[in-house]
Structure 1
Amino acid sequence: MSLLALGLNHRTAPVAVRERVAFAPDGLNTALRDLLASGGAHEAAILSTCNRTELYCGLKETDDQRITQWLGDYHQLRATDLQPYLYQHTEQGAVRHILRVAAGLDSMVLGEPQILGQVKTAYQTANSAGTLGTILDRLFQHTFAVAKQVRTDTRIGASPVSVAFAAVGLAKQIFADLPKRTALLIGAGDTTELVVRHLHETGIGRLIVANRTLERAHALAARFAGYAIALEEIPSHLGEADIVIAATSSPNLLLTAAQVGACLKQRRRRPMFMVDLAVPRDIEAAVADLDDVYLYTVDDLKDIIQENLRSRQAAAQQAEEIIAHQVEHFMGWVRVQESAAGISLLRRRAEAMRDEALARALGQLERGKNPAEVLRMLADGLTNKLIHTPCAGLREAAARGDADMLDSIKRLYQLDGKGFDR
């Protein structure tokens, strides 16, 4: 059986193409069974995220075009239209690809951890659908172990490389007791949602979300047990906030130095950490001059992110070395499985020879032949049968001048002369 990884991602296909070949989560079981029913794959799993769609298959034959054809047919696309955006990896290339994906080395954000959870979901879905076989099941288990090793042995995920994560990382450096702190988020867009998610994961004590549209603020705050307010209410709640992170598209300032200064008196000089992720700014630059305020802009975070990205790139080199070793480790296991059928056949043939010779010997004993003579005949007969095939192979290889075959047979039967000289 051949291994195949076939798909497209954020590097090879625009979002307009990616969204057309994405699989809805509630339709994956049906898609997996349909893929196997198409006849091209013996086992299969599908990884489908906003950034990639990938099919991992154990092929009955080496014809991967049937998988491409199925992918196009399933999404009502011509395979020829899909082909320019696709990549495919086979055998150890497929193993290397899934290990790199799970470790975050093939992600839009290098080293991001979410992809491992998505790979685990793909495995669980295929397992539930009954489309995993021995090879893919072992490959996914190996993948999870390698991804864990990469996270443990390198710093691939140690340094934040998104503005949302970097902002929360700075907050954790300034306040060691985040569960006792209150955060005010200004805005309710995608960036703010990421910040809220990260703050929630760190166990922030209280969340306040302020937005021009109160309904959007409510929708975001409710998902994380937060409290929603309108922008006009910010001055009334600013004094409660230890952390303020602003990310709106407003053309005007939302927080002035005068407002923050008045708030500091209310807080009795307790420090505030503020991050302005907006362009143009939401927080007046003069706020940075106030005592007890730590104000960072998006440019400050970009400098941090660039340094962290360099750190991740160095860690990625270490991760690639781990993966190279683990690819060979898995392929060694595959080769053992492929040899199992040959080993089983060899054993069955040997056992058949034994049973035949033993039956003949028992018959001779029943007819009254000398037991010692019967045993000699049994031993001679078994010896001749067992060495016939390798001896014939040695003669044929010698006649052809096939030095490689001669060496292989000698190694297989340990014909180096050691241990048998008398």
Structure 2
Amino acid sequence: MRKAPIFPGKTGVYSGDAIADNRNHRKTSGPSSEKIHDLLCKGSKAMDKVDDRATLANIFTMAEPKTSVLKNDRLLRALARQPVDVTPVWLMRQAGRYLPEYRRTRARAGSFLDLCMNSELACEVTLQPIDRFALDAAILFSDILTIPNAMGLGLTFMEGEGPHFERPVRNTRDIDCLGVPDPETDLDYVLDTIRLVRRELNGRVPLIGFAGSPWTLATYMVEGGSSTDFRHIKAMMFEEPDSIHRLLLTLAQAVIDYLNAQVIAGAQALMIFDTWGGVLSTPDYQTFSLAYLQRIITGMRETHVPVILFTKGGGGWIEKIVKTGCDAIGLDWTVEIGKARARVGNEVALQGNLDPCILYASPKRIYQEVASILEDFGHGSGHIFNLGHGIQPHMDPERVGILVDAVHELSVPYHL
């Protein structure tokens, strides 16, 4: 763990007045996303033919299984807005309590946190939905609160109550005591899981790594766990904005280091979950969340591994989110995806955005809702089908399989 970065003051990049357009930096620094995508999918033999040292250094120095070739590249192609044969689909919380095999593995682990920290079992859980459904991507099984746990806040998960921190962050002294975790030592179990998953996948589908946004992590750290009113962090935000900025700056650096380490370990795409960004006003969202999301994307190494940003409740801000330089924007179900596409054009891909509760409905209704979203998005690439939030514990796995098959079946005409 190293010392947190020094806070430069509340002006500059943290001002809510404007978010600088970061897309040009992402597009011009290093090789193009299309070139990297092709090399990703072709494997190490293609890498050997690249004679540009900078390009090679920029692409994938992670511990990739050198013999694997990505057999299903739909997700990466869609993220690069390249042609695909069908719309790719993966689902938030696709590995979780709705699966009986997950529940059995969780019982063996002893607790949720023990499961996250056991690389072999976390790998097993990551692969369970891939073995069961025709999904187009795996997502690392972990939790967004691994970073604050590595900072020493004492994370526990109370049955029926969610996460709880023994030592919440409530004042400047608490913030000053925080350091930036070293992923290789403090979060090594996550990186080991990524390496195991890549080996076991053997190129079947790409692997998505992830982290929580600085604002979302800060809400849990200051509140001490889940919250419905966010009274502690909002009081600090309004009364002590400099303190919140110092906390967010520390977390942004921690997320940068963590995601870069995930890429080196083998993650082929990344997602940042800004679960609680939507509880902020527009000016506060720009100042306390979006500015730090942009900082993270700027701080990512020049590999240009595609990054998906998801702000729950952030449908009104997608034009601003585009300017961070992300490759895709995740949408919840309150946004019409066709209108969202019209608003952002071809600048980014869009992910989403089915109401997860459709999985409680009949197969016929699932097909109807899938058809509606596909029609709303329209023809062409740049759409990753997903739910607007995670699969819920009581959902039927059979319905999940029906959803995945419906996306592939019904999307064919949109890619001819």
Tell me the TM-score normalized by structure 1.
0.21
More helix by share: 1
Tell me the TM-score normalized by structure 2.
0.21
Q: Which has the higher contact order (CA 8 A, sep 6+)?
A: 2
